[in-house]
Amino acid sequence: MLRFAAPALLGLTLASGPASALDLDAMSAEEKAAFGAQVRAYLMENPEVILEAVEVLEQKQAEAQAQADLELVASNADALFDDGYSWVGGNPDGDITLVEFMDYRCGYCRKAVPEVAKLLEEDGNIRLIIKEFPILGEASVLSSRFAVATKIVAGDDAYKQAHDALIEFGGDVTEVTLRRIADGLGLDSDAILSEMNSDEVTRQIAENRALAQRLQISGTPTFVFETELLRGYLPAEQLLHIADSLRDGKS
């Protein structure tokens, strides 16, 4: 006849002691059934134990993901922060760098634009890098090709103008509409449209995609803030808080 109490058994099961504290394999079928019934009864009477266990599991998973992201960023630092072709804005000499993987057809990327602008306005010591990462269809690809080609043909200031125009543009993306955007900005539309299908434009976008794959980035916007990989839209207040935390970590 079994003479152990449920709390004692649960203490052996849930405590952080050695796994050999309770050997289920050594139990008979009757003992296992009785033990299972007592565990169930205890959990039904104390359901908060399950919630506590879930919280601990989620925390451990989050910590493991954060560590994995940290290692991914470190191993791809050169491609992230010094690729030699991505547009650099904000304060080019800032003490911390924010990299944004974006898609012009992404609603949350558009929503993030004023938040990033507010971040750069309130914190004048942040370097911003834009990574063209078209993942939402042919219109996204055409938009990114146009933006990259604009930078190659007309330089950084023209890229920023084209980038902003594409973010705000809500119509169909075609050669005709892209030409209108270029003409409206006073740019050489013929040269830009000719450059769009060049090997260099193709290379830059392909390298961004390969980098995103290595970083396990599958959606936009995704930010790399110095050492942290941040997946999804974030408001300016949260970005400012992260910037402060990053600086505290450096000091």
Sorted by where each starts, the structural domains of the chain and their CATH numbers stand as 6-75 (no CATH), 77-250 (3.40.30.10)
- Ranking 56-60, 80-84, 178-182, 241-245 by mean pLDDT, the lowest is 56-60
pLDDT given for residue 50 in this prediction: 81
Q: At what angle do helices 107-122 and 236-250 cross, to 10 degrees?
A: 50
Residue 133 CA to residue 144 CA, distance in Å, equals 8
3-state SS, one letter per residue, for 73-92: HHHCHHHHHCCCCCEEEECC
Instruction: Give tens-digit pLDDT for 85-99.
Output: 999 999 999 999 999
Instruction: Give tens-digit pLDDT for 106-129.
Output: 999 999 999 999 999 999 999 999
Tell me which DSSP letter residue 195 carries.
H
Residue 134 CA to residue 107 CA, distance in Å, equals 13
Instruction: Give tens-digit pLDDT for 180-223.
Output: 999 999 999 999 999 999 999 999 999 999 999 999 999 999 99
Instruction: Give tens-digit pLDDT for 134-181.
Output: 999 999 999 999 999 999 999 999 999 999 999 999 999 999 999 999
